[in-house]
A and B are shown apart, each in its own frame.
Chain A
Amino acid sequence: MSTLNSYDRYHRQIILPEFGEAGQQKLLHAKVLVAGAGGLGCPALQYLTAAGVGTIGIADHDVVTLNNLHRQILYAEKDIGFSKAERAAVALNQLNSQIKIIPYNQKLTTKNALTLLKEFDVIIDGTDNFSTRYMINDACVLLKKTLVYGAVSQFEGQLSVFRNQRDGDVSYRDMFPDPPQEADVLNCDEAGVLGTMPGMIGTMMASETIKLITGIGDSLINQLLTYNMLNNQFYQLNLSPAKHDRSFIPENEAEFLKINYEWLCSTATVEEIDIPSFNNFIDKNNLDVIDVREPNELPGVDEFPNIKIPLNQLASHSAEIKSGTVITFCQTGKRSKAAATILKNIFGTDKKIYSLKGGILEWKKSKL
């Protein structure tokens, strides 16, 4: 197709003074990876394709299902049962045959993420689970790739840009240092979502990506924007680096490859210890009991030796844990589970790691 046709296709954005032909050229030379071709990924893909981003990668290992169609409006009924990445590529090619669209019908894992992400300039995270989100975040920090982040829950959405280029640039870990357990935060499958919600956030993710590439406007770098559809409220916050939280991010590719992100976000593998077993343990040697609560949390514990390391400092202070058996505790046994997961991730099978079931509140109650 000739340049003239290209000019015609993008005419309405080229005539924007801030955008112009220079902006169009920047888009044509840009490479964007959309991770997750679901509720957020679909609208992002559609607008980026329409706008003329030169190379677009689509990473998704899922197939289209009937209950996707209310929000993933890139797909049609005939696509049900087929690969999302591949069906999305077909539909997007029909929208714009002049750009390069590359489907990756594979699950993003630590093994393939770095190689794939290296091929692109901007990464869009439209995935639907914490383990993949944390992995993508850490990979982008390692590779210094800009990450456009979006997430939704029911009638609310979040949006941010993690530039990962300069000192002081924040990443997802500066908001939420340690991964929540998947079970603690409901996803769209469990909590429900109205189709227009990811539609809006995904469209805004495409806008932020276009702004980043063309250099127009103010980006959401180091800011978090939230939108509530029910009351039409936008809320914009400034993010700041949380220094110690950086220690969660693997320092190099070899370390990244070692992290089991699914494990990090699942409670399934954490062994809980009940109060009678815990009481048997207390007098044993080669045992470290760790209080992972914040310093000021009550009740205080002086009935047995314990080391105080708040959950968010655990990874950076793991060297203080010397014994072969470790029991973590918190107020009710939930944070200590997350703590045990973090420690398992660090120590692997070198130490036996347990979390006190019911937490210190239950333990104190049993002593009354």
Chain B
Amino acid sequence: MQIYLFGRLTEIAGNAALISDAADTDTLIKKLHTIYPAMAESTYVIAVDKQVVHSNTLLNEHSVVALLPPFSGG
């Protein structure tokens, strides 16, 4: 599994691939929040295989997960 982080999330967790096993997005997010508590306080949208998801989504070893925070700068 690949995890892409954007914006400030890269500062929180670094740019490296993070976790390779999680059955679904809820599990993945819970794990990430445990490892990086600052992430739990961040706003972001979750995308699986380039599709933004709004509810728990199954993952497999080929899944690409992206976490994107909002930007306000103009």
* Among B42, B43, B74, contact of A128 (Cβ-Cβ < 8 Å): B74
Interface assignment of A24: CB less than 8 Å from any CB of chain B: no
Interface assignment of B22: CB less than 8 Å from any CB of chain A: no
Interface assignment of A158: CB less than 8 Å from any CB of chain B: yes
The reply to whether B52 and A239 contact each other, CB–CB distance below 8 Å, is yes
The reply to whether B73 and A187 contact each other, CB–CB distance below 8 Å, is yes
The reply to whether B71 and A296 contact each other, CB–CB distance below 8 Å, is no
How would residues 32 to 74 of chain B score, 1 for a CB under 8 Å from any chain A CB and 0 otherwise? Answer: 0000010011110101001111100000000000101111111
Least Cβ–Cβ distance between A341 and chain B, in angstroms:
13
Cα–Cα distance between A127 and B72 once the two chains are bound (Å)? 8
A224 neighbours in B (Cβ, 8 Å): 52, 68
Cα–Cα distance between A156 and B42 once the two chains are bound (Å)? 17
A174 neighbours in B (Cβ, 8 Å): 52
Cα–Cα distance between A186 and B40 once the two chains are bound (Å)? 17
Cα–Cα distance between A175 and B52 once the two chains are bound (Å)? 8
Contacts A156-B6, A237-B52, A238-B52 hold; do A130 and B40 have CB atoms under 8 A apart? Answer: no
* Among B40, B53, B69, contact of A331 (Cβ-Cβ < 8 Å): B40
* Among B40, B41, B74, contact of A184 (Cβ-Cβ < 8 Å): B41
- The residue of chain B having its C-beta at the shortest distance from the C-beta of A176 within the complex is B70
Cα–Cα distance between A120 and B8 once the two chains are bound (Å)? 35
Which residues of B1-39 are within 8 A (CB) of A?
A: 4, 6-8, 26, 30, 37
- The residue of chain A having its C-beta at the shortest distance from the C-beta of B37 within the complex is A332
The reply to whether B70 and A130 contact each other, CB–CB distance below 8 Å, is yes
The reply to whether B72 and A226 contact each other, CB–CB distance below 8 Å, is no
The reply to whether B73 and A193 contact each other, CB–CB distance below 8 Å, is yes
The reply to whether A182 and B72 contact each other, CB–CB distance below 8 Å, is yes
The reply to whether B72 and A151 contact each other, CB–CB distance below 8 Å, is yes
* Among A186, A228, A238, contact of B51 (Cβ-Cβ < 8 Å): A238
How would residues 104 to 148 of chain A score, 1 for a CB under 8 Å from any chain B CB and 0 otherwise? Answer: 000000000000000000000111111001000000000000000
Interface assignment of A40: CB less than 8 Å from any CB of chain B: yes
The reply to whether B52 and A240 contact each other, CB–CB distance below 8 Å, is yes
Interface assignment of A236: CB less than 8 Å from any CB of chain B: yes
The reply to whether A235 and B74 contact each other, CB–CB distance below 8 Å, is no
Which residues of A7-60 are within 8 A (CB) of B?
A: 36, 38-41
Interface assignment of A66: CB less than 8 Å from any CB of chain B: no
* Among B42, B66, B72, contact of A130 (Cβ-Cβ < 8 Å): B72
The reply to whether A151 and B52 contact each other, CB–CB distance below 8 Å, is no
The reply to whether A185 and B74 contact each other, CB–CB distance below 8 Å, is no
The reply to whether B70 and A237 contact each other, CB–CB distance below 8 Å, is no
The reply to whether B54 and A38 contact each other, CB–CB distance below 8 Å, is no
Cα–Cα distance between A176 and B72 once the two chains are bound (Å)? 12
Least Cβ–Cβ distance between A209 and chain B, in angstroms:
15
B26 neighbours in A (Cβ, 8 Å): 294, 296
Contacts A193-B73, A242-B54, A296-B26 hold; do A184 and B42 have CB atoms under 8 A apart? Answer: yes
- The residue of chain A having its C-beta at the shortest distance from the C-beta of B15 within the complex is A231
Least Cβ–Cβ distance between A7 and chain B, in angstroms:
35
B68 neighbours in A (Cβ, 8 Å): 158, 224, 226, 237
Least Cβ–Cβ distance between A308 and chain B, in angstroms:
16
Least Cβ–Cβ distance between A291 and chain B, in angstroms:
15
Contacts A185-B43, A186-B8, A226-B6 hold; do A157 and B71 have CB atoms under 8 A apart? Answer: yes
Q: A residues touching B (Cβ–Cβ < 8 Å)?
A: 36, 38-41, 125-130, 133, 150-154, 156-158, 174-176, 180, 182, 184-188, 191, 193, 198, 224, 226, 228, 235-240, 242, 245, 294, 296-297, 331-332, 334-335
- Contact sample, A vs B, 17 pairs, CB 8 Å cutoff: A130-B72, A133-B72, A151-B70, A151-B71, A152-B71, A153-B7, A153-B72, A154-B7, A157-B71, A158-B71, A175-B52, A176-B45, A184-B41, A187-B73, A238-B50, A245-B54, A332-B37
Known pairs A153-B71, A174-B52, A184-B41. 4 more at Cβ < 8 A? A130-B70, A156-B71, A237-B50, A237-B51
